[in-house]
Amino acid sequence: MTKATNQFGELGERIAARWLEQHGYTVLARRWRSGHRDIDLIAAREGVVAFVEVKTRAGTEFGDPVEAVHAQKQRSLARSAREWMARCDRAEAQTFRFDVIGVLLKDRTAWVRHVESAFSM
């Protein structure tokens, strides 16, 4: 991944984190790492912990950013989430889920699409 691509992705993650906070979530972690895998955002609201994959695009030539979370990425996220749950005591969390946030950046405007419970373990 090039430095520019990495910075673009980080911008999308910052936008997604701000969007979550504006919608009542508390961001627990950003870019949480377990070995070579990571979880872009981990956020909580009302007893639900969401493991959030953020996909940022500059256009729709390759489809909706949300559609870019394929089965292999889902499996990797599930493994990372299990590791996070084993390391972090979140007894108050009753529910865990996987969300995807697509950020489309075009003409200096950001569009955010949040899909709750996008897939399951």
> What CATH number corresponds to the domain at position 13?
3.40.1350.10
Q: Find residue 95's DSSP bridge partners.
A: 48
Taking a C-beta distance cutoff of 8 angstroms, is the pair 42, 50 a contact?
Answer: yes
- Residue 72: φ, ψ to 5°: -65, -40
Residues 6+ apart with CB under 8 A from 64: 102, 113
Residue carrying the six token digits 């994959």? 53
Contacts of 94 (CB under 8 A, 6+ apart): 47, 48
pTM: predicted TM-score of the whole model, two decimal places: 0.89
Mean per-residue pLDDT of the chain: 89
The better pLDDT of the pair 110, 94 is held by 110
Q: Rounded to whole angstroms, how far apart are CA atoms 109 and 111?
A: 7
Total number of domains in the chain: 1
Query: Residue type at 120?
Result: S
Q: Which of 17-21, 69-73, 88-92 is least confident?
A: 88-92
Domain housing 81:
3-119
